[in-house]
Chains A and B, each alone.
Chain A
Amino acid sequence: MRDKKPSFPKPLPSTHLLGTGTPMCAGCGGLQVLHEIYDLLGPKTVFVNAAGCLTLLAVYPFTPFRGGWLYTAMAAAPAGAQGVRDALDILVRQGRLPPEENLEVVALTGDGAAYGMGLSATSSAIERGLDFLYLCYDNEGYGNTGQQYSEATPHAARTATSGGPRGFMGYKKDLFAIWAAHRPAYAATVAGAEMLDLARKAEKAKSLRGPRLILALAPCPTGWDFDPQDTVEIGRLAVKTGIWPLKEYVDGRVVHTKIPRPRLPVEEYLKRQGRFAHLFEPVRQEELLKEIQAQVDAYWARVES
């Protein structure tokens, strides 16, 4: 079955661009996505970062980056990206920076900044037509502080601040739809486990100009409570159960890039993670499980109609 070579968008790198030796947890889904995308974007990038787990990628004097990196503040990554992009454009236009020295500007934040504190800055950067790529590693909670619920936490998930019998009472915000409503140049959801889909989308994003989003599900062994080796499996199950739809917004249309058929029951995804264990033990919370399944079913019914 593996005899057929996968159609990878470009020759595989024999080594990877993102430096090793970072202090991220073993099995970090966010780091996985970043290193996959960095290989595709190349070193002519400057990452503008907001407070989150990946802030600690660069701790003096160690950095895994081969291009640029600027840590701003939790709410400020898109604004920092604006300043860097504008300055680079000014320098190129004035002839003070040779075009080959130019950089792609990438805002890099977790869900806390992307869905919450930094959303005003994001909305405004899109509105201004800023030429940047926004990479969000979504681990569905404030992971860097011990996984409290964020605006990206899914319904019923237990977090450090939603430890009740029903878990988190809110619902995950639809950041992709919020971006799409802004009519950006591009927006896509990806999962690190779905490498080919991710690679194609990263290449697509790289080929376009203007505001672009790559919203990556980042399975988090520490925050979601599963064994680090299951990071890929959890990501695949998120896609196969339909909980994390892979899609893209381009030219005013939303297209699903992988429609799971048949869709696995959401339980297959939920039961693998400690944050949902209370749905199964000590007693099975049928009502909650049904609600989660019904929401996923309703989503796909809309997609397929």
Chain B
Amino acid sequence: MYRLRFHGRGGQGIKTAGRILGTAFFRAGFEVQDAPRYGAERRGAPIFAYVRAARRPIGERGIIRRPDLVAVADDTLVTIPAAGVLAGVAPHTVLLLSSSTPAEVWRERLQLPGLLLTLPLGEVWEAAAVRFLGATLAGAAARLVGVIPREALVEAIAEELAHLGPSLTTENQVRALAAFDLLAEHAGCVSEGPEPSAAAYEPPRWVELAPEGADLAAPAIHLPATSEAVPTGLWRVVRPLVDRSRCRRCAWICSTLCPDGTISVDGDGFPVIDYQHCKGCLVCAASCPARAIRVVPERQAARVG
């Protein structure tokens, strides 16, 4: 059985990628299971989708623990443990990153035993690229498994994206086929991973749960603002920067309007943005009467910073 996972952020076409690949497998004669997985988080937050495909009916369900392929739409997610991109990555797992950073750099950085490939699709924050990300990733994944014919991919896109109309469907097909062709030399590099063995397995470490009393064992939180431990700044793909030379220090406008309350005011009356938590909505930049808040792509900002 093939077990494949797509990772990205809400709004990057992850669910679409899963469905296109699922349908392509199905058209190629496989039994298929595909599903997206959302948490409580919303647009911009990490999500994933998964696809199983086999030549027999599939009984396995739920999230994929040992993926054969992990395809990532947004390389900023790789190093976020909560995003779970690298969860269960085994020696046979192929990692495909949509990234402008070269594959060698990633290999050096991550030190993973398996094959690591990149797909240079341009910066994710470019709206044009994002629109086709799902189909592009599906095309790339289809080539890497090596058992999906071109026609199955083309038909799957037509089926899954029919609601977008003919011209957008065609554009998606073009992008997906470009990725499909680009990875020709790696066709079939994804292999079906080992099946669970009842003869040799790691037993679960079951425990006897003890009663611990309601004060401890109720879903109640006894400290203030513990949410500040959650780095929602990782959602950000663009960064607002305060230009102090233009800022009129009215401060209350951006600080009050920031939905997440991430803008405080320093002793001199300048706004200070908490990048640990700023989600990059840009309400501040759009609302600044002095136009003193610039917007730069997060990668560029990170390099500058």
Contact = CB atoms under 8 A, between A and B. Distances in A.
A35 B260 contact: yes
A221 B285 CA distance: 16
A15 B274 CA distance: 11
Looking at chain B's contact residues, is the secondary structure mostly helix, strand, loop, or mixed? loop
Contacts of A105: none
Interface in B249-272: 250-253, 255-262, 264-266
Contacts of A221: 43, 281
A24 interface: yes
B170 interface: no
Given A14-B265, A26-B43, A228-B283, A20 B228 contact: yes
Contact of A230 (B43, B261, B286): B286
Contact of B257 (A14, A57, A195): A195
Interface string A88-124: 0000000000000000000000000000000000000
B135 interface: no
Contacts of B274: 20
Interface stretch (A60-68, A257-265, A272-280, A295-303): A60-68
A60 B262 CA distance: 21
Contact of B226 (A18, A19, A195): A19
A210 interface: no
Contacts of A56: 40
B229 A25 contact: no
B23 to A, nearest CB: 22
Looking at chain A's contact residues, is the secondary structure mostly helix, strand, loop, or mixed? loop
B225 A63 contact: yes
Nearest to A230: B286
Contacts of B221: 58, 60-63
B232 to A, nearest CB: 5
Contact of B43 (A43, A64, A222): A222
B172 to A, nearest CB: 20
B25 interface: no
Contact of A231 (B235, B265, B281): B281
Interface residues of B, number: 49
Most buried by A among B225, B255, B259, B262: B259
B34 to A, nearest CB: 19
Contact of B277 (A17, A21, A193): A21
Given A19-B226, A20-B227, A65-B225, A26 B265 contact: no
Interface string A33-70: 00110000001000000000000111111111111000
Interface in A175-192: 192
Interface in A5-35: 6, 8, 12, 14-29, 31-32, 35
B36 to A, nearest CB: 13
B224 interface: yes
B65 interface: no
Interface string B29-51: 00000000001111111000000
A60 B279 CA distance: 21
Contacts of B286: 229-230, 232-233
6 contacts: A8-B252, A12-B251, A21-B230, A27-B281, A31-B260, A228-B282
Interface of A: 1-2, 6, 8, 12, 14-29, 31-32, 35-36, 43, 56-67, 192-193, 195, 221-222, 228-233
